[in-house]
Every structure is written in structure tokens, then in C-alpha cells.
Amino acid sequence: MKSFDIKTKIYFGESSLDRLEQLDSSKILIVADPFVVKSGLGNQITSRLDRASIDYEVFSDVIPDPTIEKITLGVSFLVKSKADTIIAVGGGSAIDQAKAMREVVSQMDEYKGVHLRLVAIPTTSGTGSEVTAFSVISDTESGQKFPLVADSILPDEAILDVELVKTVPPAITADTGMDVLTHAIEAYVSKNNDEFSAALAEKSVEIIGSFLLRSYLDNNDTHARSKMMCASCLAGIAFNHANLGLNHGMAHQLGAKFHIPHGRANAMLLPLIIQYNSDINKHSRSKKEYPNHVRKYVTLARLLGLQNFNTITTIRALVSWVEFMVKEMDMPLNVSSMNVCSQEEYFAAIPEMAEAALADSCTATNPRTPTKEDVMKIYIDLW
Ligand SMILES: NC(=O)c1ccc[n+]([C@@H]2O[C@H](COP(=O)([O-])OP(=O)(O)OC[C@H]3O[C@@H](n4cnc5c(N)ncnc54)[C@H](O)[C@@H]3O)[C@@H](O)[C@H]2O)c1
Ligand SMILES: [Fe+2]
């Protein structure tokens, strides 16, 4: 038996931030990305709370890829604040930090039976964290990144307001946009995929095909940016239901070990993972039937307008299109061009990263079951 639901209520479209004035709360803790505070973007939140005379405090000790230490700091702040509602505003890092903080606090004796409401407001169009039951945590001691997964982590509400993503610079638009694409593709070919997640992933891919490059090329293209916010959220709901795959399992390790931004790591891996999962080689031509997930890649390619001569050439066209997007958005195609570590350091880390990628919960639903050797080879090819 399967089921599908969306616990998070989504507010979107013009003036959706006005929802904040309707919150029934006596004290709010705003968990904010430091950029949101420094840039004044946060005023769009606080001015609405002021108007509604709702008391609030701000916690902005948030870093990219939240760590156990930062979450612990946030937990004491949250308990001291006596807030009944958390507003998380920022990219995936701020939202994941707030989700983890609420999860820890909810398990304390003094919070038994208390429901702390969480409202997630994304300022990047990337992770879909506003609608997922995941919170990705970095463990600085072990140098690993792992997802916490529980339904109780899901935000109660999400607010998608394009006003908050207008300041995202091109490089972050590229990283986060390619994260959305990876979510949609991995959810679509996941072992857990079904008609519900498929519908969401297809719509997301269709939007990305039309609007990601536009968002990258023109910061002021508000229409394209609001479409990408929806694509991000749709892909989030899709992978929350169907889970992800090896691409994310491997990207998490690159983030934890070498601090490669999450979306950039996914983008570099995506062409290699599509090729690995499709397993198309010189013998493929003789195949009459391709596995289901290969046909799904073909469907996505068609949605992107890449229909080609046959299955093999269509998969190649999909891989080339992903590489085209990476190049057009000035993103690196391999680790060596990023100068994040020496070749020796990178190759020494491969066996451990491969093991951690295999153990990562995202990898379990990859359509092709990888061996440690397979994963090591992909990391080697990524150099
Ligand atoms: N919970 C999930 O379901 C899920 C899914 C995928 C990824 N993640 C995690 O989310 C994190 C990545 O999130 P992200 O890609 O959104 O990046 P991020 O939150 O780390 O932010 C990246 C950078 O963008 C800046 N930024 C954010 N909003 C901005 C804006 N409006 N204008 C200008 N700059 C802005 C931030 O200050 C930061 O420097 C990773 O830790 C990743 O593992 C979580
Ligand atoms: Fe992701």
C-alpha cells in the first residue's frame, strides 16, 4: 500500500508574505541566513510582524551546510526565546538548520505535547527544503554530511515570494537551479517513483528547460524567477515522496569533504550519473528492451525538446544538454578545475567517500545498484 500527501501548506504568488500578518503566535524565532539580515531582505518579514504586533527575535548564526555545533547553538537560543513559532528564511542551509533545531527541541521533556510551528521561506530556488522531510547536517568531526529524515521535520507552511530571490547572484542561481534539476531527474527515475511524484517531476523539468537559463542571464527576469521557485518546490515534493539517488549520495560527500556547494557538486555529477544509470555502451544497440528508468530519461529528454533518433541518441542528447547548461552557466565540469584540493588529497579521499556515498540514504533508491568500484570510478572520472 502506498500513500501520498502534502502536509506543508504552500502560499505563493504576489504578496504571499502577507500571510505572516495572519500568524496566530505570541512569540516567533526567525532563523535567518546572515545575508538576509545584512542585505535588509529580512525587513520584508519583520515589517509584517511589526504590523501585526507579533513579538519576535532573530537568530542568524547560520552557515552554508549547517553543522551539529550550529544546530546546538540554535537549540539553546530557541529554548531561551520561548517562541511558539519558527520562521526559517534563507536558502536550504537556514531552512535545514531551523528544521533540525525544531526536531531536537521537540524531543525535550519540557516540549512533550507542544507543537512548535515551522514556517519556511526560501530565498533560493534550489533545495525544495520548504516542503521536504529532510534536513541535511554536516558532521565536522567525521567530515561527513548526512540527511535526517522524518515526517515530523516537514515545515507546516511554506511561503514562496519572488521578492526574496531577486537578489540571488548568477553563480548561486546556477548552483541552486542545477540542484532543482537533479532533484527532479533523480525523483523521476528513483526506484520509489510513481505517478504522483512523476507528475511533479515532469512539470519541474519542463519549467527548468524554459526558465533556468533565463533566470541566470537576467537577474531582473521576475517571471523566470517565480517559475523557478515553483519548479524548486515541485521537485521538492517529488523527491520527498520518491527519494533521490546516487547523484545526491555522492554529492553529499563532495560537500562534506571539499566544501563544494551542493548544487555545483550535483551539476558536475549529473552527466556521469545519467550515463552510469543508463549503462549505454557499444552493446546496447542490440537491446530490444531498455530498463524502465532508461525510458524515463527519454521521456524527460522529450519534455526538454530533445527527441532524437533512438533511445541511445536521445540519452546522449540529454547528457549533452546537461553539459551545455553547466557550460552556459559558467559552472565547472570537474573537481580539478575548482582548486578546492590537490589531486593527491582528492584521490586519497575517494575510497572513504565511495563508502559513505553507498551508505547515504539517497543512494538506496538509485535505479541501478552501484558497487563500491562503480562509485570510485565515477569519483575518478569527476577529477
Ligand atoms: N532539506 C532538503 O530537502 C535539502 C535538499 C537539498 C539540499 N539541501 C541542503 O541545503 C543546503 C544548500 O542550500 P542552498 O543551495 O539553498 O544554499 P545555501 O542556503 O547554503 O545558500 C548559499 C549562499 O547563498 C546565499 N543566499 C541565500 N539567499 C540569497 C539571496 N536571496 N540573495 C543572495 N544570496 C543569497 C547564502 O547567504 C549563501 O551564501 C546544503 O546544505 C544542502 O545539503 C537540503
Ligand atoms: Fe539537492
Q: Is 93 in the pocket of ligand 1 (CB under 6 A)?
A: yes
Supply the angle between the helices 262-278 and 292-303 in degrees, to the nearest 10: 120
Computed over its alpha carbons, how large is the radius of gyration of the chain?
A: 20
Q: What is the DSSP letter of 112?
A: T
- H/E stretch holding 286: none
Q: Is 129 in the pocket of ligand 1 (CB under 6 A)?
A: yes
Each residue's pLDDT expressed in tens, for the chain with a length of 383 residues: 999 999 999 999 989 999 999 999 999 999 999 999 999 999 999 999 999 999 999 999 999 889 999 999 999 999 999 999 999 999 999 999 999 999 999 999 999 989 999 999 999 999 999 999 999 888 888 877 788 899 999 999 999 999 999 999 999 999 999 999 999 999 999 999 999 999 999 999 999 999 999 999 998 999 999 999 999 999 999 999 999 999 999 999 999 899 999 999 999 999 999 999 999 776 666 666 788 999 999 999 999 999 778 888 999 999 999 999 999 999 999 999 999 999 999 999 999 999 999 999 999 999 999 999 999 999 999 99
Distance CA 248, CA 179 (A): 9
φ, ψ for residue 67 (rounded to 5)?
A: -105, 165
Distance CA 127, CA 232 (A): 7
Q: Is 210 in the pocket of ligand 1 (CB under 6 A)?
A: no
pLDDT value of residue 290: 83
Query: In sequence order, what E strands does the chain have?
Result: 9-12, 28-32, 56-59, 85-90, 117-122, 134-139, 144-149, 157-160
Q: Is 232 in the pocket of ligand 1 (CB under 6 A)?
A: no
- H/E stretch holding 263: helix 262-278
pLDDT value of residue 168: 95
Q: Which residues contact 41 (CB under 8 A, 6 or more apart)?
A: 35, 123, 164, 167
Q: Is 168 in the pocket of ligand 1 (CB under 6 A)?
A: yes
Q: Is 370 in the pocket of ligand 1 (CB under 6 A)?
A: no
Q: 229 is written with which cell numbers?
A: 521557485
Domains of the chain, CATH where assigned: 9-167 (3.40.50.1970), 171-382 (1.20.1090.10)
Q: Say if CB 267 and CB 178 are below 8 A apart.
A: yes
Return the number of other C-beta atoms located less than 10 Å from residue 89's C-beta. 28
Q: Say if CB 314 and CB 306 are below 8 A apart.
A: yes
pLDDT value of residue 132: 97
Q: Which residues contact 380 (CB under 8 A, 6 or more apart)?
A: 347, 350
Q: Say if CB 238 and CB 217 are below 8 A apart.
A: no
Ligand 1: centre distance to CA 111 (Å)? 29
Q: 105 is written with which cell numbers?
A: 527541541
Supply the angle between the helices 246-258 and 262-278 in degrees, to the nearest 10: 140
Q: Which residue has the cell 539580515?
A: 37
What is the SS3 assignment for 144? strand
Closest residue to atom 19 of ligand 1, CA basis: 91
Q: 256 is written with which cell numbers?
A: 562534506
> b vs e for 170-186, b when ≥16 Cβ sit within 10 Å of the residue's Cβ?
eebbbbbbbbbbbbbbb
Q: Is 136 in the pocket of ligand 1 (CB under 6 A)?
A: yes
Sign of torsion over alpha carbons 10, 64, 126, 216 = positive
Ligand 2: centre distance to CA 227 (Å)? 18
Given the CA of residue 133, which atom of ligand 1 is nearest to it?
3
pLDDT value of residue 139: 87
Model-level pTM?
0.94
Question: Which residue from 68, 93, 220 has its CB within 8 A of the most atoms of ligand 1, so it is best to mutate?
Answer: 93
